[in-house]
């Protein structure tokens, strides 16, 4: 068996950024930028008022100003503010030529055609200078950034209408096992509903990939070998990865130009993990137990998708990134945890806040077939190989499950 860190490194190194496509602004959210996106205009393009009030010249001091016009947003004043003159201006209005300060309306008194105020009310900071937010040519979103709703608003402000983003990686998913059937279908004796794939499809979509359902394959080498025909950037199999007469993935694919990189990882759950290549296409063979499948997806499949998308992670140290590539943070355990053996263990757990600190409590039963506890969990406690017992209050690493 190899370590989780080594397995994650080998998987990540097998992938590189895939090709890009041009997408319009309305469909950029959640996509990963393929090349730096540059602002096409200054924002704001001209100096504008941050307040309702009067645009004036500071040089005129306390002198009453004659109001010579108005500048609502979108309707600039067509002229220049001269000595002892003022222009009525509104938030978002362009500051007229000659003016270098704004007097807010609460500090001014209008009498006839004049406006009166104290000199201390003349405030240049009420003007948003041209380019205050960003300048034309400035990088608004660097290559490798996954675009958020906030980014989309920023790009729109930068006059961006479309951008190059990484194509969504196609991930073919095949469930293997005579005992499996789709939810709602009739069951054969001893059969169960195939559940892992549905969680995996949702994960792949959330991480920016495009899942392709290759269906449920029976336990025959001929049927399993058809996986090699998948038109995908990556193939994922569920089941058929451990030791036994009915674990046929490696046997079946051996006839289809399959080369094995590694098999079995020192982890719990998820030990019988296969990674290799079907010709040029990477293949990740996950264990059949549903919790094992989804934990392995977090540890190995997401980094692979990120690598195909060219995702660049931020430099923020909290939360940190574990060696396996997963986001992690520290939390205190509520109840004691026993010593760990030689396999890195991932315990389903619940997070809570108390006295300004993050706490975590592991579920009592950690059987890898139990999806109910995984659905209730919001974190995985990471127990390194040979970890000493943890007493209440001790710190442990946790992987948050929000979004997984």
Domain residue extents for the chain:
4-16+168-309, 20-43+134-166, 48-128, 320-400
What's the topology of domain 4-16+168-309?
Molybdenum Cofactor Biosythetic Enzyme; Chain A (3.40.980)
| Average pLDDT over every residue of 115-143 | 96
> Is the peptide bond between 269 and the residue preceding it cis, with omega within 30 degrees of 0?
yes
| Average pLDDT over every residue of 151-168 | 98
Fold match, 4-16+168-309 / 320-400: no
Of the candidates 178, 363, 207, which has an alpha carbon nearest to the alpha carbon of residue 294?
A: 207
What's the topology of domain 48-128?
Molybdopterin biosynthesis moeA protein; domain 3 (2.170.190)
210-217 and 170-176: which strand pairing? Answer: parallel
HSE of 203, CA atoms in CB hemisphere, 13 A:
25
What pLDDT does 368 receive?
87
Q: Residues 87, 70: contact at Cβ < 8 Å?
A: yes
The percentage of the chain sitting over the pLDDT mark of 90, rounded to a whole number, equals 83
What whole-number distance in Å separates Cα of residue 217 and Cα of residue 234? 17
Beta strand spans in 105-233 (E)? 109-111, 114-116, 127-128, 139-141, 162-166, 170-176, 180-181, 192-193, 210-217
Adjacent-strand bridge partners of 390: 337
Adjacent-strand bridge partners of 211: 171
Q: What is the CATH number of domain 320-400?
A: 2.40.340.10
In this prediction, residue 374 has a pLDDT band, given cuts at 50, 70 and 90, of very high
Superfamily of domain 20-43+134-166: Molybdopterin biosynthesis moea protein, domain 2 (3.90.105.10)
Which residue has better confidence, 315 or 117? 117
Helix ranges restricted to H, 341-382: 371-376
pLDDT tens per residue across span 42-53: 999 999 999 999
The percentage of the chain sitting over the pLDDT mark of 70, rounded to a whole number, equals 94
> How much is the pTM?
0.88
In this prediction, residue 251 has a pLDDT band, given cuts at 50, 70 and 90, of confident
The DSSP element (H or E) to which 304 belongs, if any, is: helix 302-309
> Within its chain, how far is the Cα of 258 from the centroid?
32
| Average pLDDT over every residue of 81-93 | 98
Residue 40 CB neighbours (<10 A): 13
């Amino acid at each position: 068996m190899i370590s989780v860190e080594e397995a994650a490194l080998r998987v990540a190194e097998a992938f590189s950024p895939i090709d890009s496509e041009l997408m319009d602004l309305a469909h950029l959210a959640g996509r990963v930028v393929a090349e730096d996106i540059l602002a096409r205009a200054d924002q704001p393009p001209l100096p504008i008022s941050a307040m309702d009030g009067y645009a004036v010249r500071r040089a005129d001091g306390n002198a009453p100003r004659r109001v010579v016009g108005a500048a609502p947003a979108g309707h600039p004043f067509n002229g220049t503010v001269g000595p002892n003159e003022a222009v009525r201006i509104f938030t978002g209005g362009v500051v007229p030529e000659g003016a270098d300060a704004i007097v807010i309306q609460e500090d001014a008194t209008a009498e006839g055609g004049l406006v009166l105020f104290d000199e201390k009310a003349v405030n240049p900071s009420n003007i948003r200078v041209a380019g205050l937010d960003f300048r034309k040519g400035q990088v608004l979103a660097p290559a490798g950034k996954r675009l958020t709703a906030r980014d989309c608003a920023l790009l729109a402000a930068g006059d961006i209408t479309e951008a190059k983003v990484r194509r969504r990686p196609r991930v073919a998913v095949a469930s293997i096992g005579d005992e499996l059937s789709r939810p709602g279908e009739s069951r054969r004796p001893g059969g169960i509903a195939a559940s892992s794939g549905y969680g995996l499809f949702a994960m792949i979509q959330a991480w920016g990939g495009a899942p392709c359902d290759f269906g449920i394959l029976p336990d025959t080498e001929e049927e399993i070998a058809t996986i090699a025909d998948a038109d995908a950037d990556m193939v994922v199999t569920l089941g058929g990865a451990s030791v036994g007469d009915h674990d046929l993935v490696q046997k079946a694919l051996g006839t289809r130009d399959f080369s094995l990189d590694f098999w079995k990882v020192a982890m719990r759950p998820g030990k019988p993990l296969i990674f290799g290549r079907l010709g040029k296409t990477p293949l990740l063979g996950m264990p059949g137990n549903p919790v094992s499948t989804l934990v392995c997806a977090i540890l190995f499949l997401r980094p692979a998708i990120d690598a195909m998308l060219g995702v660049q992670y931020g430099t923020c140290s909290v939360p940190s990134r574990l060696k396996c590539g997963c986001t992690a943070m520290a939390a205190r355990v509520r109840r004691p945890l026993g010593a760990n053996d030689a396999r890195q263990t991932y315990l389903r757990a619940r997070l809570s806040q108390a006295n300004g600190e993050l706490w975590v409590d592991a579920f009592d039963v950690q059987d890898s077939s139990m999806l109910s506890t995984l659905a209730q969990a919001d974190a995985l406690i990471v127990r390194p190989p040979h970890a000493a017992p943890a007493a209440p209050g001790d710190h442990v690493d946790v992987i948050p499950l929000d979004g997984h």
